């Protein structure tokens, strides 16, 4: 698998008179598992969508392996699991996967790939169930299963751990780490604070600014708090712009926070 490089330079998104994403500058590489954290409404979903061209940028640009981003650039290389389920709930799990595979895979390769993905996501015992009867967490995993069928280079997930119990949350984070270990670039927004160590890199978004970009191990010390949960409270002590300025002062945009 060739290694993907996503280059984001000074990306901003404006809605009405509000800038909901500001001055985002990051390089993301195949093989990384990037967890995106931040309070509700801070701009995590907007960041995910900006990275894959689902929202128009008001400033800056995103390059995919050095080339301007376009639907064409992503053809067959992107898996995206949005925050809200888009799975057709009237279908049986195996039916949904078969339809998804028909769209994404050459004929004849389906069965084995589908079975592997079902097992990988712990959905094997639910494969004959109608999607409307699955729990929220199981439905989320069906959405992910559909995206994994085509073995994408970039996997974007918006809150893949919401609705999961702590054990499933930890196993979802481990699964995402294992996909990244195979070369995939995995970017996931999450509130799974207990499992952050599974990620190789953390981005904290606050008021539309990236205010931390570094390894999980130095997250707490950077914010001067004892636990990852406490980061959220600490963010309130200064404005997003103040946190952003501090991030830049310590060289965050050159990727040296925590190193
Ligand atoms: N299309 C839009 N028009 C106007 N405002 C928007 C639009 N989309 C997002 N916003 C606003 O931008 C901000 C960031 O939204 P976003 O969905 O990115 O937040 P989030 O961090 O993903 O939140 P959550 O954790 O609740 O999912 C919010 O204040 C939201 O109300
Ligand atoms: Mg969101």
> Which of 31-40, 60-69, 201-210 is least confident?
60-69
38 lines ligand 1 (CB under 6 A): yes
Q: How remote is the CA of residue 21 from the centroid of ligand 1, in Å?
A: 9
Domain ranges of the chain: 1-77+156-259, 86-151
Is the shortest distance between the CB of 240 and ligand 1 below 6 Å?
no
- For residue range 45-63, what is the model confidence (pLDDT) as tens digits? 999 999 999 999 999 999 9
pLDDT value of residue 164: 83
- How many other β-carbons are positioned within 10 Å of the β-carbon of residue 176? 27
**Window from 2-11, 18-27, 51-60, 62-71 with minimum mean pLDDT:** 62-71
Q: Is the confidence at residue 2, as pLDDT, over 70? A: no
Q: Kindly report the average pLDDT of the chain as a whole number.
A: 90
Helix (H) or strand (E) holding 103: helix 93-104
pLDDT digits (tens, 9 = 90+) for 138-196: 888 899 999 999 899 999 999 999 878 888 889 899 999 999 999 999 999 999 899 99
What are the tens digits of pLDDT across the range 205-222? 999 999 999 999 999 999
> What token pair was written down for 33?
């598992």
Contact 50, 34 (CB under 8 A): no
Distance CA 194, CA 1 (A): 31
Residue indicated by tokens 């995106």: 36
- CATH of the domain spanning 1-77+156-259: 3.40.50.300
- Ligand in closest contact with the CA of 207: 1
The H or E element containing residue 7 is strand 5-15
Q: Is 41 in the pocket of ligand 1 (CB under 6 A)?
A: yes
* 3 vs 139: CA distance, rounded Å: 30
Contact 79, 148 (CB under 8 A): yes
Question: Which ligand sits closest to the CA of 51?
Answer: 1
Ligand 1 atom with the shortest distance to the CA of 43: 18
Assigned token pair, 66: 């050095």
Ligand in nearest proximity to the CA of 37: 1
């Amino acid at each position: 698998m060739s290694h993907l490089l996503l280059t984001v330079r000074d990306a901003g998104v404006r809605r009405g008179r509000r800038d909901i994403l500001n001055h985002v500058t990051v390089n993301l590489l195949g093989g990384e598992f990037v967890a995106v954290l931040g309070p509700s409404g801070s701009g995590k979903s907007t960041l995910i969508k900006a990275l894959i061209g689902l929202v128009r940028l008001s400033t800056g640009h995103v390059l995919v392996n050095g080339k301007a981003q376009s639907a064409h650039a992503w053809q067959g290389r992107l898996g995206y699991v949005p925050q809200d389920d888009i799975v057709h709930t009237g279908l049986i799990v195996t039916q949904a996967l078969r339809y998804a595979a028909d769209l994404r895979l050459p004929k004849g390769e389906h069965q084995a790939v589908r079975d592997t993905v079902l097992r990988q996501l712990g959905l094997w015992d639910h494969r004959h169930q109608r999607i409307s009867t699955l729990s929220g967490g199981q439905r989320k995993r069906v959405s992910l299963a559909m995206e994994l069928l085509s073995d994408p280079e970039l996997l974007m997930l918006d809150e893949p751990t919401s609705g999961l119990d702590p054990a499933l949350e930890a196993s979802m984070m481990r699964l995402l780490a294992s996909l990244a270990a195979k070369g995939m670039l995995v970017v996931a927004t999450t509130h799974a604070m207990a499992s952050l160590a599974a990620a190789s890199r953390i981005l904290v978004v606050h008021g539309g600014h990236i205010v931390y970009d570094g390894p999980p191990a130095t997250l707490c010390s950077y914010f001067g708090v004892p636990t990852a949960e406490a980061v959220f409270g600490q963010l309130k002590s200064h404005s997003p712009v103040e946190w952003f300025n501090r991030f830049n002062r310590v060289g965050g945009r050159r990727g040296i926070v925590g190193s």
